[in-house]
Amino acid sequence: MPEEWVGAFLYWDGLEEPARVAVDQLIESVGLEGPLVWSDNAQQACYLELWRLRQGDVSQTTNIVERLRAGANDPNPAYGRNALCALTLEVIRADKTGSSEAADLIQRLVDVLDDGPSFSALGGLRMELAWILEERGEVETAARVIGYNSTPTPNPFSFAMSSVNREAGRLNDMAGDHARALQFYRTFVLARGSADSRLSAEVESIASRIAELEAELDQRR
């Protein structure tokens, strides 16, 4: 599905060219009007708008947000995927444009993730919020929100989740929670290994950091 190619590029270190081809398909599928339903094309619209926002294009955000909310099964982002995506898109746009509403929107999204959505939130949405918080100097909060629903142990989707684990490890490392950083780093290296030569240097760097943290924790025991 085209949204998976876009998500792979945005959040899982995927290739750009297939994502660009997929974006054209998403534009056609999502269209310009009408409610968006998650079981149909709302998820496609969510990834399409995340792509646009990554490119700095906010021209369609209002349209997509309104259509997501029109097709939502629940207006509360803690209970509806449409509503959670809509809120995340608003947060990203507000942050990019320097809106006076940004702080309130960010806190609302943090509160939703702190309370715990009733479903498994897309890893990309948590990553977007964590990056915004990091840029604002709220590293501990960023480390907390990115770890939600991302258990730092091997799972059937370990390769796909590895980017979340890498970022969760990095943010926990920055926040000073080295024990938790180690958990995420180890899962990242286990999932990635030598799977992609493009990432070899990164994997080696994180493996080296794992050795440093293990030695540090051993000295404290």
Query: What are 71-111's pLDDT values in tens digits?
Result: 998 999 988 999 999 999 999 999 999 999 999 999 999 99
Is residue 149 predicted with pLDDT exceeding 70? no
The more confidently predicted of residues 2 and 195 is 2
Query: What are 181-216's pLDDT values in tens digits?
Result: 999 999 888 877 665 677 788 889 999 999 999 999
In whole angstroms, what is the distance from residue 30 CA to residue 95 CA?
25
Residue type, 16: E
Q: Chain centroid to CA 155: how far?
A: 18
Is residue 150 predicted with pLDDT exceeding 50? no
At a CB cut-off of 8 Å and minimum separation 6, what does 44 contact? 1, 2, 3, 26, 29, 30
pLDDT at 158 (0 to 100): 56
| Rg from Cα positions in the chain | 18
Neighbour-count burial of 93, counting CB atoms closer than 10 A to its CB (0-12 exposed, 13-18 middle, 19+ buried): buried
In whole angstroms, what is the distance from residue 3 CA to residue 119 CA?
19
Is residue 154 predicted with pLDDT exceeding 60? no
